[in-house]
Structure 1
Amino acid sequence: MTTPLDRAGEEAVNGPGDPEPKRAAAPRYAKAPSTAAVIGWTGLSALVPGAAHLRAGRRRTGFLLLGAFGAILVAAIAFALIVRANLGLALKDSTLVVVTVVAAVGALAWFALVLTSYVALRPDRLPQSGQVVSGVVVGVLCVTVMAPFALTASSIVTVRQTANAVFPSDGGAGASIAPVRQEDPWNGRRRVNFLLIGGDAAGNRTGVRTDSMTVASVDVGTGNAVMFSLPRNLQYVHFPKGDPLAARFPNGFTGDSGQGLLNEVWQYAEDHLGKGKGPQELKNAIGHTLGFKIDYYAIVDMYGFAALIDAVGGLRIRVEQDIKWGGHFGTAGTIKAGYQLLDGEHVLWYGRSRVDSDDFSRMSRQRCVMGALLAQATPSVVLANFGKIASATRHMFRTDIPRDLLEHLVPLALKVKDAKTTSLQFVPPTIWPGAADWVKIRRLTAKALKESEQSRRPTLAAGATPGARPSGATPATSPSGAENATPSPTRSRASAPATPLRTPTPNDQASAKTLADACGF
């Protein structure tokens, strides 16, 4: 049996001169954190993963989390730089799927990170009230850190669904569209031509009426674009050789009404050639009129367009004179002259009002609306109103632009925004719709394209071949069907001489104007 020694006994054993034996060091414990500290360190770990684990003394786990976070940051920055250099990559279907999955995994990972950080700080050492308060706050924090990832995933899913709904994966109605090659998406063309249509399918009308038709011819190397506006009442257009309507209307299109208006072509083809034939026949007619092939079309429903304008916050437009709107006499209201910020409804009335106006004035105003939208729909505006824009686009837009071309179309659109855009309208006195001078239309078209290409850089666009046709055109065919560089003019449905002695419109050298000059941007 042993008994503890008193201090005197120790001295007796060790001797008065011997040093005292060392006592074992007592274990050290970190000071228990307060409720505020637990909440603070947990919140910090949501921003700097591993911070809470380092505070709790779990260095290995803390440094591993910090290293993983650093690797994620580096990967995110690298991805952002790649996308910035090629914005079209962000719209690839595979990219959208990967980003959606990464966002979903990130949400779960950050939820687990916040939870494990909280547990690592041992909240069980807190008083009961502190445990309840910290638990509630950390629960809210877990949901909060998941929100950005959930919003990202939701937005990406919306983008993907909208893109897949609007842009057909197989070319849709345009069965003649060539497959998209990644190394050369434009198939060697230096120019690509888009037919932009404003369609009106109101409830009191049968079928689709193409009231606004504009061709945008874009240089894929520089982004320089020329916009050709054709009047809806252009009469007796011709079709290229081999087209089913060329044989039916050898002297010019007359349609069912006998008037042969351009805006009847779409619906006539739908009714007589079969559903889905309207877009291609309209492309053929307009392309033949201008002297080059129309590659793609896009039709926008007028009322859906108003929703799109509202989605971007309206358009600022220079109104040159008061525009009355509503009814036959403009009794509903007036859009005052000057610079105005117009909502979707008033933009439609500005572009379509017939009160004290005519079709040609409407074409001019519609051109300015399109230019204003192009100029004012900046990336920041699109991002800020993304949800509303996606919803409006999905219900108003139809096109034969292939889904796979979208990633190449976005960089081209950005080029167009920063390049020179000119516009040419085929309206009186330059061209009379009822007695169009087809030779003159093609001559003015070629002149506008040539002027647009004069500012072209010497380097070719990626994928363009040196021998490509400047306008992306195919050999034109005359109204009679024979291939020719310039078609024989036709003033009416009757055949005309191959070389007219006098053109029915003034032979002034009309030229294209920039949208900035025409619309006051």
Structure 2
Amino acid sequence: MIAPTITYHEFRGSNDVLRNPRAASPRERTKRASILTALTLFLPGGAQITAGSRSLGRIALAVTVGCWFLLLLGITMYFTMRSVLLSALTQPFIMWTGSIILVALGIGWLVLWLDTFRLIRFSQLAPGFKPIIAVILVLLTALTSGGLAYAGHLLNDARNALAGIFGEGAAVQAEDGRYNFLLLGADAGEGREGLRPDSIHVISVNQATSETIIVSIPRNFQNAQFAEGSPMREIYPNGYNCGNECIINFLYTEVHNSYSHLYPEAQDPGAAAMMDAASGTLDLAIHGYVMVDMGGFSELIDAMGGITVESGGWVPYRGRHPETNQWGNRWFEPGTLELDGSDALSFARSRTHSNDYNRIQRQQCVQQAMIGQFTPQTLLTRFTEIMAAGENIVETDLPQAQLGSLLDLAVDAQDHTPQRLTLGAPDFGSAGDLFSTYPDFDQIHARVDELIANEGEDDDAPSAQEPQEQTEPESPEEAADSEGEPPGPTPEHTDPAVAEDEPGEQQTAEASELTQPDGSPLTELYLIEAQQRGEIGILEQAASTNGECSPGN
């Protein structure tokens, strides 16, 4: 009897469990299914080369290697050529191409998973293992293919949002090694004619070191100077100096109503005039502006899931009574506050029973809280909401071509504590000195130059410049003799809100030390009742320290 002849290939095939699992034991088939699943997850195309269509596997493996190469190249560029990488990734065409590629990769990975389902051969698996491997494959398919497709969708949303926020054109060049931008918080409040920027800040960034200076200009700042070459110098050759009719936040509306023809090429003539005023006042070239609509500001904070701040004083606002639910006066208590968008806007806006300087400090605090609490987890989980909110409330003349270099500066700037300066109390005398009404521009320029000169000396130093020594306010007669002009603003206010901004005598009592007549601590209900009774003194004392604010954890 002649024994049957078995070729080498037949022998090898019968023992190749991965490609021919028929003769394998249940344990070996389970191990085979696990290997094919792991290959498709970590080395897409590996399962097909091992146990399926080698041509499909080679194509998938080539794509996989290309993706790993691009990822490693991106990581290398982030640490060596970050500005170039970010500039490339924020270009509209590259973002559009990237979204298409991500969706295509998701579809390709889905094809590989479906083929892996086939290669595993569920009919040959042990009964108890079938549902386990099925659930694992479904979850991994959703995680990988679904994740790539969703990433492509988000990238396309980001492209559309950035196109709606940023303009076209070439990137602007730094001047004297600095980028200077005007940040405006605009508000079309009740009883107002047109939009007004109530929050005015100049952000100056050192191009080489990314160190940052933030200069805050009070909304009731008067006599603002215009930069050389500004068309507004034809109207106000000596600065914006017509008294209370010419506080700086009126400039935006006035230019829109009467002088927009002076800025024929500007997409927002009011913002262009505000840039000229900030430039002349600080003696800094302003390269662009970003304006946030404070009316939609709450949308962005809600999209982030809220913010946390530490408040040092009582902050009045309008809301629903905690007991009766009727609309009226409310107070934020000192301490840790968890704020949604509406509450954060009320907290930042409030100036009743205090002044603009406390308000500026709270605005800066809210801005820092937003930046500090804007985590990658928040961005990933709320990306669509954040992009939609940003597109609705942000206006800027900065070109999208500038975005990459600005992001690069922003990353480096997080390593430095910004220096801060307010054009008024406490950085320029006390609140009673009325520096914002009668500013000394030589002092302002000197302080800005000092901040620039101090860059890099001590990053652990306090972020704000030490305020000038505060002295007792001069009497009206002394002020008239020293200034050569009547002290204080004139009474012809056209906006009742401006009158509230005029700083009065500062209360010295700490809000935490104030008590009710019976010695018990202050409560919100007591302050509401005191407000109804017209007891202004206790209200001003309670609000006197509400500028003390820091971002929460």
Separation in structure 1 between the aligned mates of residue 198 and residue 159 of structure 2, nearest angstrom: 30
Separation in structure 2 between the aligned mates of residue 299 and residue 161 of structure 1, nearest angstrom: 19
Q: TM-score, normalising length from structure 2? A: 0.68
1:113 matched to 2:112: yes
Give the match's secondary structure for 1:436: coil
Separation in structure 2 between the aligned mates of residue 340 and residue 327 of structure 1, nearest angstrom: 16
Separation in structure 2 between the aligned mates of residue 31 and residue 295 of structure 1, nearest angstrom: 69
Give the conservation status (yes or no) of the 8 Å contact 2:351–2:359.
yes
Give the match's secondary structure for 1:433: coil
Give the conservation status (yes or no) of the 8 Å contact 2:289–2:398.
yes
Give the match's secondary structure for 1:82: helix
Of 229-238 and 58-67, more deviation after overlay is shown by 58-67
Residue 305 (structure 2) aligns with: 313
Residue 446 (structure 1) aligns with: 449
Choose which of 423, 431, 437 in structure 2 pairs with 1:434: 437
Relative to structure 1, the CA distance from residue 53 to residue 425 in structure 2 (aligned partners, 3 Å threshold; closer, same or farther) is closer
1:168 shift after superposition: 0.4
In the alignment of these two chains, the number of paired residues is 432
Give the conservation status (yes or no) of the 8 Å contact 1:235–1:259.
no
Separation in structure 2 between the aligned mates of residue 279 and residue 374 of structure 1, nearest angstrom: 24
Relative to structure 1, the CA distance from residue 491 to residue 155 in structure 2 (aligned partners, 3 Å threshold; closer, same or farther) is farther
Residue 403 (structure 2) aligns with: 406
1:142 shift after superposition: 5.5
Give the match's secondary structure for 1:435: coil
Residue 389 (structure 1) aligns with: 386
Give the conservation status (yes or no) of the 8 Å contact 1:435–1:492.
no
1:100 shift after superposition: 1.5
Give the match's secondary structure for 1:196: strand
Give the conservation status (yes or no) of the 8 Å contact 1:108–1:146.
yes
1:425 matched to 2:422: yes
The aligned amino acid for 1:227 is: I
1:233 matched to 2:220: yes
Choose which of 195, 202, 215 in structure 2 pairs with 1:215: 202
The aligned amino acid for 1:92 is: Q
Residue 508 (structure 1) aligns with: none
1:131 shift after superposition: 11
Separation in structure 1 between the aligned mates of residue 406 and residue 2 of structure 2, nearest angstrom: 84
Give the conservation status (yes or no) of the 8 Å contact 1:320–1:337.
yes
1:246 matched to 2:233: yes
Relative to structure 1, the CA distance from residue 121 to residue 265 in structure 2 (aligned partners, 3 Å threshold; closer, same or farther) is same
1:259 shift after superposition: 1.6
Of 329-338 and 390-399, more deviation after overlay is shown by 329-338
The aligned amino acid for 2:364 is: R
Residue 362 (structure 2) aligns with: 365
Give the match's secondary structure for 1:418: coil
Relative to structure 1, the CA distance from residue 36 to residue 141 in structure 2 (aligned partners, 3 Å threshold; closer, same or farther) is farther
Give the match's secondary structure for 2:4: coil
Give the match's secondary structure for 1:434: coil
The aligned amino acid for 2:391 is: R
Give the conservation status (yes or no) of the 8 Å contact 2:228–2:280.
no
Give the match's secondary structure for 2:313: coil
Separation in structure 2 between the aligned mates of residue 387 and residue 63 of structure 1, nearest angstrom: 36
Separation in structure 1 between the aligned mates of residue 153 and residue 409 of structure 2, nearest angstrom: 27
**Structure 2 matches for 1:108-507, cutoff 5 A?**
108-120=107-119, 145-170=144-169, 179-180=170-171, 186-187=173-174, 189-202=176-189, 204-253=191-240, 259-274=245-260, 276-326=268-318, 331-428=328-425, 430=429, 432-452=435-455, 454=457
Choose which of 7, 13, 24 in structure 1 pairs with 2:5: 24
Give the match's secondary structure for 2:76: helix
Choose which of 66, 72, 75 in structure 1 pairs with 2:67: 72
1:392 shift after superposition: 1.3
1:346 shift after superposition: 1.9
Separation in structure 1 between the aligned mates of residue 96 and residue 348 of structure 2, nearest angstrom: 39
Separation in structure 2 between the aligned mates of residue 261 and residue 41 of structure 1, nearest angstrom: 73
1:154 shift after superposition: 0.9
Give the conservation status (yes or no) of the 8 Å contact 1:298–1:400.
yes
Give the conservation status (yes or no) of the 8 Å contact 1:326–1:353.
no
Of 38-47 and 71-80, more deviation after overlay is shown by 38-47
Separation in structure 2 between the aligned mates of residue 62 and residue 328 of structure 1, nearest angstrom: 64
Give the conservation status (yes or no) of the 8 Å contact 2:90–2:400.
no
Separation in structure 2 between the aligned mates of residue 153 and residue 121 of structure 1, nearest angstrom: 30
Residue 101 (structure 2) aligns with: 102
1:352 shift after superposition: 1.2
Give the conservation status (yes or no) of the 8 Å contact 2:362–2:548.
no
Q: TM-score, normalising length from structure 1? A: 0.72
Could you tell me which runs of 5 or more consecutive residues in structure 1 were left unpaired when the two chains were aligned: 1-19, 171-178, 457-488, 494-516
The aligned amino acid for 1:46 is: T
1:417 shift after superposition: 1.3
Residue 40 (structure 2) aligns with: 46
